[in-house]
Amino acid sequence: MNPADLSSQPSPWINQPGPDFEIVISSRVRLARNLEGYEFKPCLSAQRQNEILEILTPALLSLDQKLYYIDVDKIAAVERELLAERYLISPAHVRGKGPRGVAIAEEENFSAMINEEDHLRMQAYAPGLQLKACLDRVNQIDDQIEKKVRFAFHPRFGYLTACPTNLGTGIRVSVMLHLPGLKMTGQIDKFFAAARDCNLAVRGAFGEGSETVGDFYQLSNQVTLGVAEAEVVSNFTEKIVPKIVEYERAARQTLIEQSPYVVDDKIQRALGVLRNARLISSQEALVLLSQVRLGVHIGRIFEIQVSKINNLFFHLQPAHLQMRAGKSLDPDQRDSFRAQVIRKALSPN
Partner 1 sequence: MQCQNCKNQTATIHLTEITNGNRTETHLCQTCAQKQGLAVQTQIPLNELLSTLLSAQPEATGEDSTPQEEKACPRCGMTLRRFSKETLLGCPQDYEVFEKNLLPLIQRTHNGNTEHCGKTPSSVGPEQDKQIQLAALRRQLDVALRNEQYETAARLRDQIRNLQ
226 binds partner 1 (CB under 8 A): yes
What is the side-by-side order of every strand in the sheet holding 101-105? Answer: 67-71, 101-105, 110-114, 120-127, 24-33, 171-178, 216-221, 200-203
CA dihedral 253, 256, 259, 261 (to 10 degrees): 160
**Considering the rule CB under 8 A, would residue 157 count as an interface residue with partner 1?**
yes
Of 123-131, 188-196, 274-282, 302-310, the segment contacting partner 1 by CB under 8 A is 188-196
Residues 99-138 that bind partner 1 (CB under 8 A): 117
279 binds partner 1 (CB under 8 A): no
Whole-number Å distance between alpha carbons of 173 and 73: 27
User: Binding to partner 1 by residue 92, rule CB under 8 A?
Assistant: no
Answer yes or no: are the C-beta atoms of 316 and 338 closer than 8 Å: yes
If one asks whether residue 199 binds partner 1 (CB under 8 A), the answer comes out as yes
CB of 95: closest distance to partner 1 in angstroms? 14
**Which of 196, 239, 243, 269 touches partner 1 by CB under 8 A?**
196
Which uninterrupted H or E stretch holds 232?
A: helix 229-234
Closest approach of partner 1 to the CB of residue 165, in Å: 5
Site stretch for partner 1 (CB under 8 A), options 55-63, 139-147, 296-304, 305-313: 139-147
**Residue 35 or 53 with smaller CB distance to partner 1:** 35
E strand segments, the chain: 24-33, 67-71, 101-105, 110-114, 120-127, 153-154, 158-159, 171-178, 200-203, 216-221
For partner 1, the binding residue among 66, 97, 154, 243 (CB under 8 A) is 154
What is the Cα 195 distance to its own chain's centre?
19
Q: Which stretch binds partner 1 (CB under 8 A): 36-44, 124-132, 248-256, 305-313?
A: 36-44
DSSP string, 203-223: EBTTBTTPPP-TTEEEEEE--
Q: Which of 7, 34, 111, 220 binds partner 1 (CB under 8 A)?
A: 34
Of 27, 36, 56, 185, the residue nearest 116 (C-alpha): 56
Nearer to partner 1, 40 or 68 (CB): 40
Q: Least distance to partner 1 from the beta carbon of 44, Å?
A: 9
Separation CA 26–CA 19 (nearest Å): 10
For residue 228, state whether it binds partner 1 (rule: CB under 8 A).
Answer: yes
**3-class SS of residue 267:** helix
User: Is 167 one of the binding residues for partner 1 (CB under 8 A)?
Assistant: yes
Name the site residues for partner 1 (rule: CB under 8 A). 34, 36, 38-43, 117, 139, 142-143, 146-147, 150-160, 162-165, 167-169, 171, 186, 189-190, 193, 196-197, 199, 201, 222-231
